[in-house]
Structure formats: structure tokens, C-alpha cells
Structure 1
Amino acid sequence: MTGKDDIKAPAGRRAYIALGSNLGDREAQLAEALRRLHARDGITVDRVSAVYETDPVGYVDQPKFLNMAAALTTERQPLDLLREMLEVERELGRVRNIRFGPRTIDLDLLLMDGAELATEELTLPHPRMMERAFVLVPLLEVLDEHASCRPAVESAARAALSQGKDGIARWTTITWPCASAHFEN
């Protein structure tokens, strides 16, 4: 994952996404999704969390997931960013047959600075993120220290972990070039 476009100057506002995969080379799918998002105009991947292996939620008759989170800087509006994320899913072979079923890649827009939205296509903040340790634990790793939602995310993550939700275990890390020195993993 190197090249002239790996490090771009941040512009725009902060967005946080969750990534998951449980089909094929899960780790490679996560890394490729990050690379493809970063290569798109108006989207910069600034920070990435560690990768966690987690039990499936909802539909449980499927392989374990690898999950992570990323902090982006984007010039895009929330729905436009979501549509780019869905296009990356399509490019990486995502098929939507079973709700909460197996997938090559899953990209969810969790939060976006200053955005509260409730449409048929997108709800921000993500309506179920506070219930899911597999989202909250990696999100805490990339969430800005002074983000107004940080105390609520920390509290929800502690509660989810204390209840043993999602069978979450640290798996590995994906090395990501940082946009600036203060964004190091």
C-alpha cells in the first residue's frame, strides 16, 4: 500500500467508519477496502484501529468476522460518502442475500462531524453502534480525544465488553501511512 497518493493533506470534516469481513482473505479485504476508499477524490483515511476477530451477531451460522474502524477526513456529504462506501463493497464482491449474513466486506458510516441524519438510506449516528463491542472497541482507537461522543462510546464499550458481547479478540494490525505525525497508530 504505497504510492504517491498514500498520504494526502486532510481537508473537510471527520467521519468514522466500521469495516468487517468474514469471507475469503478477511484481512486482505479490509486492507483493500481502506486502499480503495483512500484512492477516491475527497476521502482521506487518516487512522486505522487494530483488527479484531469477532463472533457473528444476528445470523450466527457463519464464519467469524474480522472488524476494525477508521477515521477519515472527507469533503463529501454524508450520503455521497455512504454511496462511495457501497461502491467499494460492490467492487469487492459484496452480495446482500441474508440480513447480517456472510460478506466479503461490510462498510458502515458510524459518525460524521456535525451530521445528524435520519433518512431511509442513512441514519447518523449509526443507530446500532452503541450496542456492538465489535464496533465500539475499534472506534475508541481512532476516535478523536476531544470528540463530544467519546464518553458515551467509552461507557458503552465497557458495558458491552463486561457482558461478553461479540466474542471480541485482538487479531492483528494493518500498517497505514499516516496523514500527519500525530495520527500514528
Structure 2
Amino acid sequence: MTDGIYLLLGSNLGDRISNLKQAIKYIWSFSEIVKISSVYETAPWGVTDQPAFYNQVLEIKTATDPKSLLKEILKIEELIGRVRKEKWGARIIDIDILYYGDTKFNEEDLIIPHPGIADRKFTLAPLVELAPDFMHPISGKSNKEMLALLDDQLSVKKLDAQLQ
């Protein structure tokens, strides 16, 4: 089992909390969830004319390799009702692989670590909650250091809800 795998969940359509809970339930079916961050309400990034997102990060352990993990995630998104229309557009659920331990993986359909980690407050805030000292395997900076260096001014607000 590989540990130190971090997934970012996001939803800005429908019942956002229910969408996150459903995703977590499906993730349990093929992995062990080690930690779950709080839920954060975040301003949309990329395409800003859409509802706010609920985001959270999970730390998981799994025997699933990165490509198979991506396939599982895409199945979950489809089961919950995701339809891909527009890059960075509104979505019922989005699940990104942020880190897969210290693995570096670069193929057309999957890049690990996720290339947007260092640029996105909505990713780093819940990631720092779970793993402040986890080192980015390429930049060598911790999640906490990357958050401190970030110039992202978009709203990221921790909610009281935590999903187990």
C-alpha cells in the first residue's frame, strides 16, 4: 500500500456537501482514508462567473497505481454525475490527484504532483491543514512554504463542516 497520496475534492453544483460525501464513500471502496480536511468554501478559479466551490483534501493509502487511481476517480466523477463541458467550469464533482507519495509522473492524461498545487490557495489551504510539512517532490518546498509564498487573493474560507 502506498501512503502519502492526497486527493482534492471540489463541488459547486447541486448539494455540494452531499456530493463530497458521495465521493468519499466511493473512495473508501478502493482505499483507506487516513485523514480528511475541513471543508472550505472557495471562490471559483479560472472561470470566475460560477458558484463558489466546496473543497477538501483527503489523504489516502491504496495499492492502486497512479493510472488505475485516475481511472477509479473518473468512474466516481461519472457515477456522481459529472459532465465535462468547459475547462475550469462548474461541476457537480471534481477529484484531482495532488500527490502520490514522492512519485513524479508525467503523461498526457496525468501529471503528478498536480501542476497547479503551488498556484492555488483553494488547494493549499486544506492541504496545509493535513500535511503542512509534506515536501513537494519537484520544488522541494513544503505545502506550508508554498502557501506562505502564494499571491492568490481569491476567497478561501474554512467551514465548520468536516466530513467523515
Query: Same fold per TM (> 0.5)?
Result: yes
Using the TM superposition, give the Cα deviation of residue 82 of structure 1 relative to its aligned residue in structure 2, in angstroms.
Answer: 1.1
Give me the whole-angstrom Cα distance separating, in 1, the residues matched to 2:44 and 2:24.
22
Q: How does 1:35-114 map to 2 (within 5 A)?
A: 35-40=25-30, 43-114=31-102
Do structure 1's residue 34 and structure 2's residue 21 form an aligned pair?
no
Q: How does 1:11-26 map to 2 (within 5 A)?
A: 11-26=1-16
Name the larger-Rg structure: 1
The aligned counterpart of 1:173 is 161
Q: What is the identity percentage for the equivalent residue pairs of Structure 1 and Structure 2?
A: 32
Query: Compared with structure 1, are the counterparts of its residues 64 and 84 closer, same or farther at alpha carbon in structure 2 (3 Å cutoff)?
Result: same
Give me the whole-angstrom Cα distance separating, in 2, the residues matched to 1:81 and 1:18.
13
Q: Which has the higher strand share?
A: 2
What secondary structure, in the 3-state scheme, does the structure 2 residue paired with 1:166 have?
Answer: coil
What secondary structure, in the 3-state scheme, does the structure 2 residue paired with 1:34 have?
Answer: helix
One-letter identity of the residue aligned with 2:48: V
Aligned residues: 161
Give me the whole-angstrom Cα distance separating, in 1, the residues matched to 2:46 and 2:5.
26
Using the TM superposition, give the Cα deviation of residue 144 of structure 1 relative to its aligned residue in structure 2, in angstroms.
Answer: 7.1
Asked whether the equivalents of residues 16 and 112 of structure 1 are also in contact (C-alpha less than 8 Å), the reply is yes
Q: How does 1:113-128 map to 2 (within 5 A)?
A: 113-128=101-116
What secondary structure, in the 3-state scheme, does the structure 1 residue paired with 2:86 have?
Answer: coil
One-letter identity of the residue aligned with 1:55: A
Asked whether the equivalents of residues 14 and 74 of structure 1 are also in contact (C-alpha less than 8 Å), the reply is no
One-letter identity of the residue aligned with 2:5: A
Give me the whole-angstrom Cα distance separating, in 2, the residues matched to 1:139 and 1:119.
24
TM (normalized to structure 2)? 0.91
Structure 1 counterpart of 2:135, from 132, 142, 148: 148
The aligned counterpart of 1:138 is 126
What secondary structure, in the 3-state scheme, does the structure 2 residue paired with 1:165 have?
Answer: coil
Give me the whole-angstrom Cα distance separating, in 2, the residues matched to 1:175 and 1:25.
14
Give me the whole-angstrom Cα distance separating, in 1, the residues matched to 2:81 and 2:68.
20
Asked whether the equivalents of residues 119 and 152 of structure 2 are also in contact (C-alpha less than 8 Å), the reply is no
Give me the whole-angstrom Cα distance separating, in 1, the residues matched to 2:152 and 2:87.
23
The aligned counterpart of 1:158 is 148
Give me the whole-angstrom Cα distance separating, in 2, the residues matched to 1:38 and 1:91.
15
Give me the whole-angstrom Cα distance separating, in 1, the residues matched to 2:44 and 2:69.
26
CA displacement 1:64-119 (0-9 Å, x = unmatched)? 00011010001011111111011100000001101100000000000011310110
TM (normalized to structure 1)? 0.81
> Structure 2: any 5+ residue segments left out of the alignment?
none
> Structure 1: any 5+ residue segments left out of the alignment?
1-10, 177-185
